[in-house]
Amino acid sequence: MSSATADIHIQTSEPPRLRVARRVRELIGARPILWNLVRKEVKVKYKSSVLGATWAMLNPILYLAVFTLVFGVILHNGIPDYPIYLLSGLLAWQTFSTAQSMAARSVVDNANLVTKVYFPREILPLASIGAAMVDFGFQAIVLVLFMAGFRAFHFGTNLLLLPLAMVDLVVFIGVLAMLVASLNVRYRDTQHLLNILLLLWFWATPIVYPSATVYSNTKTILGIRLWYWFLLNPMHDIALGFQRALYAVVSPIGANGAPKPVLPPVSVGWLAGLLGVVLAASLVLLWLTWRTFFSLSGDFAEEL
């Protein structure tokens, strides 16, 4: 046998090339597996917990308490209805962060299933996203309760941004989830590097501080204004969509009776266009990371 023939690597559990339409049909046919895995992820997460899923609601409240103390009491950021501003951005971030952390371990944690049963392996990171969306629902209840308590409901064209921001969030979560889930099988350092990346990413996204501060900053990096660099961060754009939809007021009246810039002074239409660009870019990236996941998934059983 020639050396060229000996070096040929054959994947036995998946076809050599991703066929999107056919794969989507397979995923639709595997819906029962997906629902069962989502239920399993949620049950495992809160197994033997006295409060159960209530922890999902307590998590943003604890964040709110800490950041309100630091930025509201100690540093006096002066943002009116700060809990609404914080929770609206935190709702998007927590869903993103939770989904990525779960997706990174999704294949490894289900090694017994992967090595014994054939099913579309994309089901595993998708189940992580589904479980994170369950937490999203509980945390959304917390936000609505705070909005009711502060009487901070703003009905108007701003709410049109919410479904678009939500679609962007889910698609972008899928982009990174496919990537980290596949890489973590071969390189177990991926999940640890991801934790560091998410920490840095969180502070690079205006959630605890007003995004208007970034907009008004005149500093430049490589001759480009800081605001435009922030626009390259998809989570900044998505969080801004949630904030504009739910917090809504660009410059509310502060405690001193003067307007307090909180959100960038851009129109709802401009922000909808930005979210449209993020969605288009995310779909392209999703196709690329899906191909990466698919090309690696044929070896999952051998590598686990």
The mean pLDDT value for 269-279 works out to: 97
pLDDT at position 13: 57
pLDDT at position 101: 94
Residue 1 has pLDDT above 60, yes or no: no
Query: Which sign does the torsion angle of CA 88, 286, 100, 136 carry?
Result: positive
The pTM (predicted TM-score) of the whole model is: 0.90
Residue 6 pLDDT level (bands cut at 50, 70, 90): very low
Mean pLDDT of the chain: 89
- Which of 57, 261, 237 is CA-nearest to residue 146? 57
CA distance 111 to 116: 9
